[in-house]
Structure 1
Amino acid sequence: MPSDTASSGLDGVAQAAKAAGDGAGGGKGLPPVHLWNPPHCGDIDIRIARDGVWFHEGTPIGREALVRLFSTILRRDPDGFHLVTPVEKMRITVEDAPFIAVRVDRDGEALRFLTNVGDEVVAGPDHAIRVEEDPTSGEPRPYLHVRRGLEALIARPVFYELVEMAAERDTPEGPRFGVASNGAWFAVGPVASDRA
């Protein structure tokens, strides 16, 4: 049986998210969703597609401000992704990573990323870059840790910029190309070898 909040739809969730943000001091800080332990209220038909587009009941959520608001109350728990307020927790579907890293800038010794929902993240020990490879195609799938287990898929053009910045380094896995940021080094790909 759905809760009153879940049945109230997108506007109800938006009001709860706004109230949660206001309760966190309004401003620029994120609500402390990691400290909230509300009861699970069911699932809500919100899906974040692989390309970072948020959908509600199959329709893209066109209001950028609403998507940004929801992104501030998103949390990853062992049983999946949830929108969380102090009084409710509703599971949503995330096809890959919940965010997309759409820009990178070199800022001195740091790499500063911008996500599609407005997060600014400096890669480093607490914000690692990792690259997975598709087992079939070998195509890289690069990710950046944004906050508390939430990652951003690094958009292809941004990843190409990282590859352009990369330098070779010897690693236990052999020579790798990688980038340094904020005192940490991250492998972004193998060094191409001559194959017979």
Structure 2
Amino acid sequence: MDKVCAVFGGSRGIGRAVAQLMAQKGYRLAIIARNLEVAKAAAGELGGDHLALSCDVAKERDVQNTFEEMEKNLGRVNFLVNAAGINRDSLLVRTKTEDMISQLHTNLLGSMLTCKVALKTMIQQQRGSIVNVGSIIGLKGNSGQSVYSAGKGGVVGFSRALAKEVARKKIRVNVVAPGPIEQRWTKSSYVLTSLGQCCE
């Protein structure tokens, strides 16, 4: 069976490093980001026959269309990585409601929507693996990041519950919670080692 991996948020940071790892392991990849040109650049760096797509993970129709496009061009997705995320740091009393909503929609709802669509195929195949990227901030909290912490903490709880839902279908759901990274970050041994173990 083809090894097909969808990396949401695969154009930069952790997602980009994950895509590099998965390409080395022989996966055919879909690099998904809001900005299509940036996704194309990241996919092009990997060499091989990889796909670049644009998607807003907070919009269910976008997510559904993206999976349809992946299945049409790469085959059924059997490995999903959710690394898409946004951060709008601010003290809660200064945070605009629309910024709260956008963070929660991207960081938490987005992972829920991609998992929901991916699972339909994985359940049919009776196999699959999902890795959701949380954050240490979601476990310990941090001043000025209460909304971000809520979203990433939600990803942890969601992943744990989902793992119990789908284990009997031979589908694994894991969550990794890395610490802060620099903008020019390219590798994290902790995250990549964890992902390498999850995809075997």
- What TM-score, normalized to structure 2? 0.30
Question: Which structure has the larger Rg over C-alpha atoms?
Answer: 1
Greater RCO, CA 8 A, separation 6+: 2
Task: Report the TM-score, using the length of structure 1 for normalisation.
Answer: 0.30
- The structure whose residues are more often helix, as a share, is 2
Q: Return the structure number with greater strand share.
A: 1
